[in-house]
Amino acid sequence: MLRGAITIALLLAAWEYFARSGIFSRAITPPLETIAVALVSMIADGSIFRHTLATMLRVAIGLAIALAIAIPLGMLMGRYALWERILRPAVAVLMPIPSLAWVPLVVLWFGIGNVATVLIVVYASTFSLLYNVWMGVKTINPIWVRAAQVMNAHGWRLFRHVIWPAALPSIITGIRLAFGRAWIAVIGGELLASPQWGLGKLIFDAKEFLNADTMLAALFVIGVLGLFFERVVFQLLERATVNRWGMASGARR
Amino acid sequence: MSRLSGILLGCVAFVVLALAWQAAYWAGVFPPRLFPSLATVADTLGRLTINGTMLVSAAATLFRLLFGFLLAGVVGVVVGLLMGRVQWIEDALLPIVSFMYPIPGIAYAPLFVLWFGLGDLPAILLVAVATSFTVIINTWKGVKAVNPIWIRSAHAMGASERSIFAKVILPGALPYVLTGLRLGLASAWRILVAVEMLMSVTQGLGWLIFGSQQFLNTDVMLATIAVIGIVGMLLERQVFLRLEQATIVRWGMMSA
């Protein structure tokens, strides 16, 4: 912990030295003070919160739509071989296409703005979710299903009391992975599709005016948010669900 | 179920998708200029392949991918191994790596343009930066996951530090390292396409899509997206599956 703090301090000092040495122009590599000032002024006038809110809303809506698509399809693919055979090739072809490759096309279809960015988030997150739901359902211990069926649990009851809880750990893992994908896609989408607000848009605008301080401040916010979600939100979620039910093996860092 | 019926079932989804696409085309949901028919896309794909545009673009993109990925692979594996073996390096670097890892690589793109200008250099560097964290984290985890009993028994049998490193730790960590490289390559591919749109490189698949947007050439864009998907799938399936078969599966560390 202490050593970590020392390294970060050293790194910051190195940056400060580099920034003030004038190898690159000050405008391009601003010293820490300037970055901090940019961050504080964006906090003071509230614009950073508006940008963050816009980005987070897009991620949330995109993830919600992706869940609504991926959970039913993944369940069908995991439970019924017919659906798996029908859908697997399509998933295999569509999954490796980077979501950001669609941005220019989606912008032409739906214009600049929220629809385009949300759709990019949906494309980016649906497949990793789908894959995890499918695999989660497929790898359910068949003895549990058969035991439940012997005890006359079918249809909804089988789903509600056996399949859903058994698949939930993989679904939660899927949500975590999908968030990582969505986070990349939303920033990239905002850079390319430039809606009115958003952290990606903030960086893109700052480039036009050579405001490297604003860009670095925005990167800092993006990093803190990413770390917060990865370390706090999802770890708490896993602790409250998967770990508590004793379904994860071993501790994770 | 026979092999043939499996293939036929696999085609069902594509047929449905194609029919839905054509229905949207005929119904005129979007203007035809923005929403070409599948025949036009196929025609464009054929034309661009024959006149070499597609090959040149794909070669340019793969060239950047190769250099960026090699850089990230070498740096990532070395840093990851050091972090796994040397305590003070781990203490020093872990906070930085954990902070940088969740920042989408693409967010650095405008900054890299300011620092390094436009063109190949910033594109390659950005792909390398974006990819290296995945490789570092996985390599580090792999070294940490090597069974300590293996190391101790090698010690007991009089192995030197160097041969322990080369014969125990390195092969022991390899499954994780390969996973890191595979994930890294996939993310490099995804990011590179977007990077090419932002860096205004002179050639490349991402640039082909972005450049076509100016002229509303949606058929070119769709044909390029198809090529990007196919190349991405080949990279994933062919390159890494073979590498895994030749190493960890063969050594019995992972079942195929």
CATH class of B34-249: mainly alpha
pLDDT at A238 over 80: no
Strand locations in chain B (E): none
What is the fold of A41-243? Answer: MetI-like fold (1.10.3720)
pLDDT at A64 over 90: yes
- Chain A closest-CA separation from residue B225 CA (Å): 7
Mean pLDDT of A124-131: 91
Six-digit token string for B127: 């792909």
Six-digit token string for A225: 């948010």
Q: Which residues of A touch B102 (CB under 8 A)?
A: 180, 183, 223, 226-227, 229-230
In chain A, where the domains are located: 41-243
Inter-residue contact A44 to A100 (CB < 8 Å): no
A113 touches chain B (CB under 8 A): no
> What is the pLDDT tens value at each position of chain B, 256 positions in all?
567 777 788 788 888 888 988 888 888 888 888 888 888 889 989 998 899 888 999 999 999 999 999 999 999 999 999 998 888 888 888 888 888 888 888 888 888 888 888 888 889 999 999 899 999 999 999 998 888 888 888 888 988 888 888 888 888 888 888 888 888 888 888 888 888 888 777 788 888 888 888 888 888 999 999 898 888 888 877 777 777 777 766 676 655 4
The b/e string for A162-192 (b: 16+ C-beta within 10 A; e otherwise) is bbeebbbbbbbbbbbbbbbbbbbbbbbbbbb
CB B10 to CB A88 under 8 A? Answer: yes
Inter-residue contact B197 to A192 (CB < 8 Å): yes
Closest CA to B61 of B195, B214, B215, B181: B195
Q: Which residues contact A132 (CB under 8 A, 6 or more apart)?
A: A74, A170, A171, A173, A174, A177
CB B193 to CB A101 under 8 A? Answer: yes
Residues 189-228 of chain B with CB under 8 A from chain A are 189-191, 193-194, 197-198, 205-206, 209-210, 212-213, 216, 218, 221-222, 224-225, 228
More confident residue, B243 or A203: A203
**DSSP-H helix ranges across chain A:** 2-21, 32-44, 47-79, 81-94, 103-110, 114-138, 142-150, 155-158, 164-193, 199-208, 212-228, 234-238
| Mean pLDDT for chain A overall | 84
Residues 124-183 of chain B with CB under 8 A from chain A are none
CB A104 to CB B193 under 8 A? Answer: no
* A88 exposure class (CB count in 10 Å sphere: 0-12, 13-18, 19+): middle
